[in-house]
Amino acid sequence: MRPLSFASGFEGGGRGEHTFGGRGPVSPRATLLLPVVVSLVIGVGGTVFQLGWARMWGAAVWWHPVLALAFAVAGPLLLLAARRLPGPTVAAVLAVTVADVLVQPHVVAPFAAAAFSIVLALARGARLWAFASVAGAWLAGLAGLSLIGAEWPPPRLVATTVGLIVALGAGEFLRTRRQRILERQTLWQRRREDAAAEERVRIARELHDVLAHSLSQISVQAGVGLHLLDAQPEQARTALESIRATSRTALDEVRSVLGVLRADDPDRAATVGDVGSPGAGRAPQPGLASLPGLVASVATPTLTTSFEGDTEVDLPPATQSALYRIAQESLTNAVRHAQATTVVVRLDARPDAVELTVTDDGLGLRDADPGRGMLGMRERAELLGGTLAVQPTEGGGTTVRAVIPRGRP
């Protein structure tokens, strides 16, 4: 809990509500009226008390005390414009204060309105107005007192000077504090926007990898099934079963990606899928153990695939998922664009890094639009401190080589 203070009362600038002692909202109108009421009570009460104590109500110049009271009321009322016009307000309040001093130089009225106007002007950024008004009022007051033949005793002169310095210091403190708060809010908002953008990119990358690979497989298997439907019904049945398994896997992976969006109800996302499948909302990310199955699932009567290497490698889940997705996208490109007949996926575990190579004997990616797929593979590798290179192989075809450090970056 943070009680209402100068900072909390004046930093809002009318843009919202503030808390008082953590017990409820304080409206902007209340924060606007608070300095007015306080300065009005102090100024009028102090002026009336001192005029009565000095027995000046029966003075020959009867309008002097009346004018002093008018000035004591005018100063606080001018603070009502401090929110919209902080600069002109501090100038007007200090002008009224100087006039009050010249009318009744022997009345030591507590000029709370002047202090409030200085603090409010500085807190709201009207620094030039505040410093110029203070300097002008101070010089005008001294010059006016000299002209009318009145003098202030040294204690009062020192107290007034110290009061002005304290008001200027308080205003500068609030201005700096308010600026820091606004900077922190801006930085926090920027971080939230950056995090949201990164999350959108990650989800788009996941959806692209899942859907591109699965739809490519479904398209190829559907073509095989149509081709073999009459001549080899059993092979067509195998193709249809492959389509069914691929679509089910793709649906589960899409549910897993979309489950991240359920931040408002994480428990439901962890137990219930989009269409009632338990656990679909938080399905585990694929790893190296699934890599041989992925390679085998791409094989067709016209495409031979093989996997070489050991999947029993101690790697962080993020690294395993990235290698799996890179292999998945490479296989998708080989099936959709390269018109390859052979694809070899090899995984080599080094002491400091893991190297994944996907080589095909097709036409390469000359006629493909590698934008999102290549960008996604490169992002996955670079986010983990690795590299990715796509190069043509001798005799035709394409080689995708990804090298990712084994340590967690």
The tens digit of pLDDT for each residue in 194-228 reads: 888 887 777 777 777 667 667 776 776 677 677 66
List helix spans (H) across 54-85: 63-78
Whole-model pTM?
0.47
112-123 vs 86-103: helix crossing angle, rounded to 10: 160
Domains defined along the chain, listed by start:
6-152 (no CATH), 287-409 (3.30.565.10)
Q: Specify the higher pLDDT residue, 284 or 181.
A: 181
383 contact partners, CB below 8 Å, separation of at least 6: 322
Per-residue CA distances from 68 to 8, 56, 61, 75, 116 (Å): 33, 11, 12, 11, 19
Which segment of 126-140, 236-250, 269-283, 335-349 scores lowest on mean pLDDT?
269-283
Containing H/E element for 19? Answer: strand 18-19
**Residue pLDDT, tens place only, 379-404:** 888 888 899 998 888 777 889 999 99
What average pLDDT does the segment 365-381 reach? 70
Residue type at position 353 = A
101 contact partners, CB below 8 Å, separation of at least 6: 141, 144, 145
What average pLDDT does the segment 182-203 reach? 85
Q: Residues 273, 254: contact at Cβ < 8 Å? A: no
